[in-house]
Amino acid sequence: MDRTNDADLINQFRDPVLRERAFRLILAKYQEKLYWHIRRMVLVHEDADDVLQNTFIKIWKGLPGFRETSGLFTWMYRIATNEAITFLKTRQRDRAMIADDPDEFIMGRLKSDPYFDGEELFQRLQLAIEQLPPKQKTVFQMKYFDELTYEAMAGVLGTSVGALKASYFHAVKKIQASFETSD
């Protein structure tokens, strides 16, 4: 992978002659990280690919006006998070209309995903996470899986550290309660 730093990539992107090359380098540098962030949020590989595609379309369109008030990855991560949340809200509405048992619907999607090889404990964790309100779900995943600091999350989500700590605390309590009731 090209070790070009983000500032150089942004400058190259702004040059019409180098734009496509720079974007390919940005993709190569960050695609996998963004994919796994999105995948943990939406669970299913095909859905993650769709959300990632939408994310990169928004990044392509937004890069010319990127003000560099945050890091490139932070900005891209915020776009990916927002795209995943939008997808989840749409899916939640659709699921409410087609599924009698939302838990069964989620587990069915997980088990039918050829890219998912989760053990029972991980499936239970994913089910518990899926039951969280969108904000708590996002905060839990960013902290637990991506190991982001509260300060980094505040930059991505545009909210206070205190609110994030409260959301994480409530998410953990709900997940613990989910495990206690299913035992």
Provide the pLDDT for residue 89: 82
Q: How many domains does the chain have?
A: 2
- The whole-number pLDDT of residue 1 equals 40
**103 and 124 together in one domain:** no
Q: pLDDT tens digits for 85-105? A: 889 888 776 655 544 555 555
Residue 2: pLDDT band with limits 50, 70, 90: very low
| Residue 126 contacts residue 110 (beta carbons within 8 Å) | yes
DSSP assignment of 101-137: -HHHHHHHHHHH-TT----HHHHHHHHHHHTS-HHHH
pLDDT tens-digit map of 37-86: 999 888 888 999 999 999 999 999 999 999 888 889 989 999 999 999 88
Average confidence (pLDDT) over 23-40 = 93
Residues 107 and 122 in one domain: no
Using the predicted structure, report yes or no on whether residue 35 has a pLDDT greater than 90. yes
Residues ≥6 apart with Cβ < 8 Å to 155: 70, 74, 78
The residue out of 65, 95, 116 marking a domain boundary is: 116
Is pLDDT larger for residue 170 or for residue 178?
170
Examine the domain organization and report whether 129 and 108 are in the same domain: no
Judge whether residue 122 has pLDDT over 80: no
Confidence class of residue 134 from pLDDT cuts 50, 70 and 90?
confident
| Same domain, residue pair 48 and 95 | yes
Residue 41 sits in a domain of what CATH number? 1.10.1740.10
Range of the domain at 47: 1-116
Q: Does residue 16 sit in the same domain as residue 101?
A: yes
Q: Residue 143 in contact with residue 168, Cβ under 8 Å?
A: yes
